Amino acid sequence: MKKALKVLGKIAAIGAAVYAALFAVFYFDLDGKALFKFVEPTLVKHYDNMPRRDPMSRPYGDKPTNE
């Protein structure tokens, strides 16, 4: 019985800690900040580096075939 209570207590403590952590992420907008401060700057550089199709280099012979 005591063991079961202990396990339950631990589960409740972990649950409370997860809840508090998630609430902190929510309340301080840490998800938004992480995206803007780290994810976006990294990816923007990647997007700028990516080779993209250049419409000006399309060969003359390449005619549209949409029906």
Partner 1 sequence: MADIMNAIGKTLDLANDLPPMRMPDVKMPNIKLPNVNLPKVELPKVDTSKAKAAAEKLPKFSVPKFSLPKFEKKAKYPNPAFFKAKDNMDWKAQGENLKEVGGIIMQLFKEADWKDFLLRQKNGFAADFARVKSEVEELSAMTPEERKDIFLHGEKHLGKLYRSGCMATVRREWRGAKDTAYDFYEWLHMWGMLLGTFSHDLVPALNATFHYRWMISYMCCVGFMDKNTLGQKGSALKMSHLMIYDIFRYVAENLVFLAKCDEKNGNSKELNKKVVLFDEMTMGQIMAGFPDLLGIPYQLMPVFLVSEIDQLTCVPYIDAVESFGLPADTCPVPSSECGALVLDALPHMGACFISSSMPCDGSVMASSYMSRRFPDLPVFHLTFPVRYEYEETVEDAAEDIKACIKFVEEKTGAKWNWDAYFTNMKRFNEETKYELEKWEVNKTPYPQIIGPAYELFRKWNYEMDGGSDPRVPKTFRKVDKIMKQAYERREEAWRGKMKYRGIVWSCPAHYYANFSNWIANCWGVDILVEMESLNFTKPLETEDKELALQDLARLYERMVMRRHTNGGYRNVVDELWRQCEAWNVEIIIMYQNVACKNMSTLQGILDEQARDKGYHMIWLEHDLMDPRTVSRKSMRAKVNEYMRTVMKAEPVDPSLVEFDDENAM
Residue ranges in contact with partner 1 by CB under 8 A: 22-23, 26-29, 31-33, 35-36, 39-47, 49-50, 52-53, 55, 62-67
* Distance from the Cα of residue 46 to its chain's centroid: 16
- Give 8 or 44: the residue with its C-beta nearer to partner 1: 44
- φ, ψ of residue 4 to 5 degrees: the values are -60, -45
- Give 10 or 26: the residue with its C-beta nearer to partner 1: 26
- Give 14 or 39: the residue with its C-beta nearer to partner 1: 39
Based on its alpha-carbon atoms, the radius of gyration of the chain, rounded to whole angstroms, reads: 26
